[in-house]
Amino acid sequence: MVRICGWIVRLKVVGRVAITEVVTDLYNKPVVVAVKSDRDLELFSKVKDLPIGTAVCIDGEVSPEQRSKRGVEYLAKDIRIYAKPSESMPVDLVGKVPALLDTRIKYRYLLIRNPVERSIIKIRALVLKLAREFLENRGFIEVHTPKIVAAGAEGGATLFQVKYFESNAYLSQSPQLYKQMLMTSFSKVYEITPYFRAEKFNTKRHLNESWGIDVEQGFIDSEEDVMKTLEELVAYIVNGVIERAPEELELLGVEARPLSTPFKRIDFREAVELLMNRGLEIPEGEDLSEAAERELGSIMAEKNCEAYFIKKFPWTSAGFYYMRDEEGFTARKFDLDYKGLEVASGGQREHRYEKLVESLKLKGLSPSDFEYYLEAFKYGMPPHGGFGLGVERLLMSLLNLDNIRLTTVFVRDRTRLTP
């Protein structure tokens, strides 16, 4: 006899049989329990009027006969009632009554009792587990860097300011500066971390609090060393999800294709040419727009390519910390796009003190604001590089979701600070 616990998502009484479906952590589909009044009148009477949403534990075992397509059939000896909802469910968990996105986001913590919604969150956890597994196997050390910081790495426009006793501080946009500083003492580090960005626009692919898998590695020859780590990591994650979560993918109706490495590489200039041939206008020296990224995604899909790197971004569109190529126009920065969406960016950093100070000034930043960071470059800083892989972006692409908000239970965007 085993005990499994969860919540009633469906209850139907047909004549003398009460059929109840209970969602549990154990299976993707609900546990189906049929209680017949002529077999166990006491249990039948206990169950037949239970409201949807009741928290219960079932004492019983898997039925030798499995006839229901809806879930795993159990033979129950007893059903213990732990909590009955005091109000009716604010959303339809079975998914028959469509809910507005707003309602879905507000009650996501309840909606994830539904096997389909639940699968996204389970795959999210699997993605992080696979990432850790891969990086640990490769000898990367997990580190933690401050989330309350004195300076931003990704530009002042998206910094959230917080009061820090007598002075002002910011929420970290990226562990960029700290993971680089760690390159003075470790050669391979990673951090799984929230990013806080005050993006003012309500888009389908931006959150104000998102999560990144950040990596930094030292003693590299070029950004190619870092790209190799990233492509192998992403292939490990995507292929691992396909292998370990086939049922969740099926519930979501997702047919994910395995990725093989190496991923295709194209230069930024080549990408611009491809896009201009399709009639898109790409302003000189700027990053690719969302529309351009999507169009490039369809161009690459025609070549049967889902994941690809864009290399050699214009220096004017890159962060100050990326190494500039000799001629000065391009930075050693790359993006990784997956099905037309940027899921990661990274590159080789400037590790030479004088050049780094020069870069800061060229970007109109004041070296004095970055003194603590710059100091680290005085004590034997090796050539290094890394990347930030967006967890929600990766999930959105992998699961073909049309809104990034669906990848997380509690959303932080322009209009949401609760729940």
Which residues are designated catalytic?
A: 197, 199, 205-206, 342, 345, 393
Q: Site residues for ligand AMO, window 301-320 (CB under 6 A)? A: none
Q: Which of 172, 210, 217, 407 binds ligand AMO (CB under 6 A)?
A: 210
Of 71 and 346, nearer to ligand AMO (C-beta) is 346
Interaction of residue 397 with ligand AMO, rule CB under 6 A: no
Report which residue's Cβ sits closest to ligand AMO: 390
Of 71-79, 86-94, 360-368, 390-398, the window that binds ligand AMO (rule: CB under 6 A) is 390-398
Of 28 and 348, nearer to ligand AMO (C-beta) is 348
Q: Site residues for ligand AMO, window 211-230 (CB under 6 A)? A: 212, 214
Interaction of residue 151 with ligand AMO, rule CB under 6 A: no
349's tokens:
């950093």
- CA 419/CA 116 separation, integer angstroms: 21
Interaction of residue 340 with ligand AMO, rule CB under 6 A: no
Of 114 and 208, nearer to ligand AMO (C-beta) is 208
Of 85 and 194, nearer to ligand AMO (C-beta) is 194
Interaction of residue 390 with ligand AMO, rule CB under 6 A: yes
Instruction: Report CA-CA distances (Å) from 157 to 123, 198, 203.
Output: 33, 7, 16
Tell me if 387 sits within 8 A of 214, measured CB to CB. Answer: yes
Q: List the one residue out of 66, 113, 117 whose CA is nearest residue 253.
A: 117
The separation between CA 280 and the C-alpha centre of its own chain, rounded to angstroms, equals 29
Of 66 and 415, nearer to ligand AMO (C-beta) is 415
Report, in Å, the least distance between residue 70 CB and ligand AMO. Answer: 35
Q: List the one residue out of 182, 188, 175 whose CA is nearest residue 218.
A: 188
Report, in Å, the least distance between residue 349 CB and ligand AMO. Answer: 8
Bridge partners of 192? Answer: 213
Of 56 and 391, nearer to ligand AMO (C-beta) is 391
Interaction of residue 195 with ligand AMO, rule CB under 6 A: yes
Say which residues have a Cβ less than 8 Å from residue 164's Cβ, sequence separation at least 6: 148
DSSP of 119-168, one letter per residue?
Answer: HHHHHHHHHHHHHHHHHHHTTPEE----SEESS-SS-GGGPPEEEETTEE
Of 28-36, 95-103, 251-259, 340-348, the window that binds ligand AMO (rule: CB under 6 A) is 340-348
135's tokens:
């990086």
How many residues at the interface with ligand AMO, by CB under 6 A? 24
- CA 219/CA 327 separation, integer angstroms: 23
Instruction: Report CA-CA distances (Å) from 331 to 49, 267, 325, 340, 391.
Output: 66, 11, 6, 22, 25
Instruction: Report CA-CA distances (Å) from 368 to 68, 155, 345, 361, 371.
Output: 68, 16, 27, 10, 5
Site string for ligand AMO, 341-380 (x = CB under 6 A): -xxxxxx---------------------------------
Residue keyed to tokens 């806080």: 196
CB atoms within 10 A of CB 326: 6
Q: Can you give the length of the chain in residues?
A: 419
Instruction: Taking the CA atoms of 100, 158, 205 and 249 in sequence, report the sign of the dihedral they define.
Output: negative
CA angle 186, 192, 194 (to 5 degrees): 125
Interaction of residue 199 with ligand AMO, rule CB under 6 A: yes
Residue keyed to tokens 């009044």: 37
Interaction of residue 193 with ligand AMO, rule CB under 6 A: no
Of 5-13, 134-142, 299-307, 339-347, the window that binds ligand AMO (rule: CB under 6 A) is 339-347
Report, in Å, the least distance between residue 413 CB and ligand AMO. Answer: 9
Interaction of residue 297 with ligand AMO, rule CB under 6 A: no
Of 2-10, 255-263, 304-312, 384-392, the window that binds ligand AMO (rule: CB under 6 A) is 384-392
Q: Which of 23, 91, 93, 207 binds ligand AMO (CB under 6 A)?
A: 207
Report, in Å, the least distance between residue 92 CB and ligand AMO. Answer: 29
Tell me if 31 sits within 8 A of 72, measured CB to CB. Answer: yes
Tell me if 69 sits within 8 A of 19, measured CB to CB. Answer: no
Of 28 and 345, nearer to ligand AMO (C-beta) is 345
Tell me if 369 sits within 8 A of 178, measured CB to CB. Answer: no
Q: Site residues for ligand AMO, window 42-61 (CB under 6 A)? A: none
Of 118 and 205, nearer to ligand AMO (C-beta) is 205
Interaction of residue 176 with ligand AMO, rule CB under 6 A: yes
Instruction: Give the interface with ligand AMO as residue ranges (CB under 6 A).
Output: 153-154, 174, 176, 195, 197, 199, 206-207, 210, 212, 214, 342-347, 386-388, 390, 392-393
